[in-house]
Every structure is written in C-alpha cells, then in structure tokens.
Amino acid sequence: MVDNPQQERTVPDSMNSPDNADDERGVTLGARATATAYARGAVGGLIVAMPLLMTMEMWWGGFQIPAHRLIVLILVNFGVLFILQHYSGLHHRKSTAGELRAAAAAYGIGLLVSLLTLFALNIVQVGSDARDVIGKLLLESVPVSIGASVSISQFGASNKVAARRKDVEGFGGAMAMALAGAMFFGFSVAPTEEAIILGLRTTPVHVIVLLLASIVLVHLVVYAVEFRSERVSDRRGRWRLLLEEGVSTYAVAIAVSAFLLWTFGRVGSDVGWIATRDMIVSLGLVTSLGAAAGELLI
Amino acid sequence: MTARNTDWLETLVSWTSGLVVLALLGYLVRDAVSERQPATFTVSAGSPLAAGDAMHVPVSVRNTGDRAVQELVVTVTLERSGAEPREATFTLDWLAGRSLRRGVAVFPRAALSGGRVTAEVTGFAEP
C-alpha cells in the first residue's frame, strides 16, 4: 500500500465522490500522504502555539502544577483532540478507532514539537529534572496538539464527511465544538500572570459588564454561525434555538475558564470567592469567544 | 475498520504516541501518590573573577528537594579580619526541584582581597 502510487492518486477522486463512501470506509492514503498530514500538523501546531512556547509562565507551570492537575489536563486534552478529529483533524478517516488513533497521533506531535522547541530555546536541557521536563512538555503539548488538529485542512475542512458532520451535528456537537474552541482560546491567556491581574483589577461593575459583553458576543457569533448553516430551520424556532445554544455555549466557556484557572493554580480552596469569581468571568470573555467561534475554527 | 485500512506510518505514530501519553500519565500518577520532599538547598561560592572595578563571585544553588520554590534570595557574605562583614544579595525568580541555578554576587574589587566568602539561601516564596 505504501509503495503504490495508484492508491494515493485515487484518494482525491474518492473525496470528491457524491457520497464520499470511501471516507466512511477509511481508505488508506499511504504513508507518504500520512507523513504529509503529520508534517502539516507539526508546522501548524508550531505556528499556533509559538507564543505559548515562549511564555515563561508555561515553563514555570512545568514544576509548579501538581501532578493530579496535569493528569486531569491530559484527559481533558485527549477528549478535546478526539472532538477535533471527529469534525476536522489530522486524518481523513472518520471512524471511532481512526479518530482515536488520530487523536493519539496529534498528542504525540504536540509532545515531540514541544520537546524539540524547548530544547532549541534552552528551556529544557540534558540533565534537567524529569518531573520538570514532563510537566513542561504536557503543558506545551496542549496548544501545539490542538493547533495541529485545527490547522490541518487537507484532510479536515475539505473532507465531506467532516463537513457533513458539522452541518448536522446538533446540540451535543455544537457544545463539543464550543468546548474545543474555549480550550483553544483560553489556553493562550490562562497560564499568564495577566489572568490574575485582570481578576484582581476588576470591580463588581466591570464583572457585570464583562459577563454581559461575553453573553452578547457569544450570541452574535452563534447567530452568525446559525444563519450561515441550514440546520436550524427545522422543528424549533430559530430564535429559541439561538438563545439556548448561546446560553449553553457561555456556560461551557465559563466552565472551561474555571477549569483552566484551576489547572494553573489561579483558583482553589486557598483563593477567596470574589477573586475567584472575578478571574473566571474575566477569562470567560476569552473562552466565550473561543467557544462561540469553535464551529468556525474547526 | 480493519488493519488493511491503516498504513504503517499511521500505525507506528499513533501507537507510539498513545504509549508515550500513557507512560507520562503513569509517571504523573506515581508522582501524585508519592510524598514530595520539601525544598532543601546546597549553596556553593566559586572563585571570584575580576570585572572592571568589581569582583564577581559565582554562586551555585541546588535544590535537592522535590518541591519548587520562587523568589529565592541568596545572600553572599564577605568576611575579612578586622573589618565589618559585607553582604551582597541576588534573587532567583524560581528554582525547580532537583535542579541547579547559578547567580553572581558583586563586591568592590578592593573589598574582596584577603576575604572569605560564604553564601546561603535566606528566603523564598512557595509557589
């Protein structure tokens, strides 16, 4: 299969076929095409995550964040990668096993790209403490692997099965994409000191304004997505669906905001309720934009 | 989905990646259940180096514990017989567990001649 150029040449035809049946069956692309997809993922992940690879709070997180929080982060990130593989992702194949493999591969690409970049930047050296290195890699691999999955278009956005799934995904799918988008956006701010400072500087008035602004922005983006899509003109009223999806999307965004702040130790049992609330709502502005735009990004 | 639908590269990368992620997960689980030793420090001052009108004293600080620390203050003391001790301090923004970092204490060149230099950690913040 690997050395059969005829097999590789047939793939674009199958992708363009009306029923796209080959995609459902999972036709093998060949090692060369798979290598191309992985290379595109690595470069895309690097482009998307480069600012975070050069953010010192991310490096510090490697030894500051307790192991149990990193464990939860690994599991959540794998879930996000699985969602991304379902609707887009590194590979054309859209079976559960194929998506699981692609999610694992995206994670592996994230780890490898992070390791090489941190070595190149002299953040990680030979002889560094293993726990420190592993912590750094696991943190940095989150944005790299998400970026790798999102940035791939050859086997994602152009894939008819993936496109059809996005069109008919329903409420659960929309929330899954909101989760992925919120993680993607929120991870760019949550590790930084700015997340704390923003939370500490906000007054109750700011918090109310930020909360309302986030909800309005979510509804504006969801409105744009819904009216671009054909899926909402069925049994329920468009406005009711818009309201439901908007509020639910904001709820997902706030949950992701709280999760990310907890992961990076910004909130917890030793942080007061008011500071916690202010930080979650402040970061919520970022995660809500990501959650609302998730469907556009993926 | 059958094996014939998967090329060798995809199989290799996905299985290797999956195993690496599981290995890291296992490492973290072990780390989470094991007791982490508090930070303890080994500080050593090196030979002074002339730098213009000053003398630079290189200092190595090793954290032999498991826990990381932040804003680590290192105080370097110069003692000479018949003179008041002189102190110089520097701060390391962080020091991970089982890790080594280096800093430099600066003294006037004249003050260092014939003196004895000692260095110690005098404070830090817990992350």
How confident is the model over A26-72, as pLDDT tens digits? 455 678 888 888 898 899 899 989 999 999 999 999 888 999 999 99
Closest Cβ opposite residue A134 in set B10, B27, B66: B27
Identify whether residues A123 and A241 lie together within a single domain: no
Identify whether residues A158 and A229 lie together within a single domain: no
Asked if the structure places residue A201 within a domain, the reply is: yes
Range of the domain at A155: 1-10+29-167
For residue A10, what pLDDT is reported?
37
Asked if the structure places residue A37 within a domain, the reply is: yes
Identify whether residues A107 and A117 lie together within a single domain: yes
Identify whether residues A77 and A158 lie together within a single domain: yes
ipTM of the complex: 0.77
Asked if the structure places residue A296 within a domain, the reply is: yes
Is A105–B127 a contact, with Cβ atoms under 8 angstroms apart?
no
For residue A227, what pLDDT is reported?
59
In this structure, is the dihedral angle defined by the CA atoms of residues A234, A235, A237 and A242, taken in order, positive or negative?
A: negative
Asked if the structure places residue A17 within a domain, the reply is: no
Q: CA-CA distance, A206 to A85, in Å (whole number)?
A: 38
Identify whether residues A174 and A152 lie together within a single domain: no
Q: What is the mean pLDDT of residues A65-94?
A: 85
Task: Say if residues A256 and A185 touch (Cβ distance below 8 Å).
Answer: no
Instruction: List the beta strands (DSSP E) in B4-115.
Output: 41-45, 49-51, 54-63, 69-79, 86-95, 99-108
Among residues A114, A138, A167, which one ends one of the domains? A167
Asked if the structure places residue A16 within a domain, the reply is: no
Least Cα separation, residue B79 to chain A (angstroms): 34
Is A26–B4 a contact, with Cβ atoms under 8 angstroms apart?
no
- CATH says B41-125 is which class? mainly beta
Q: Is the pLDDT of residue A298 over 60?
A: yes
Identify whether residues A96 and A177 lie together within a single domain: no
Identify whether residues A270 and A292 lie together within a single domain: yes
Between residues A165 and A258, which one has the greater pLDDT? A258
Asked if the structure places residue A83 within a domain, the reply is: yes
For residue A74, what pLDDT is reported?
95
Identify whether residues A148 and A3 lie together within a single domain: yes
Among residues A167, A202, A236, which one ends one of the domains? A167
pLDDT tens digit sequence for B28-78: 999 999 888 899 999 999 988 888 888 899 999 999 998 889 899 999 998
Q: Is the pLDDT of residue B91 over 60?
A: yes
Among residues A117, A143, A167, which one ends one of the domains? A167
Identify whether residues A196 and A137 lie together within a single domain: no
pTM of the model: 0.79
Report how many domains make up chain A.
Answer: 2
Identify whether residues A6 and A152 lie together within a single domain: yes
Asked if the structure places residue A128 within a domain, the reply is: yes
Contacts of B9 in chain A (CB under 8 A): 2, 31, 34-35, 38
Residue B126 CB neighbour total at 10 angstroms: 11
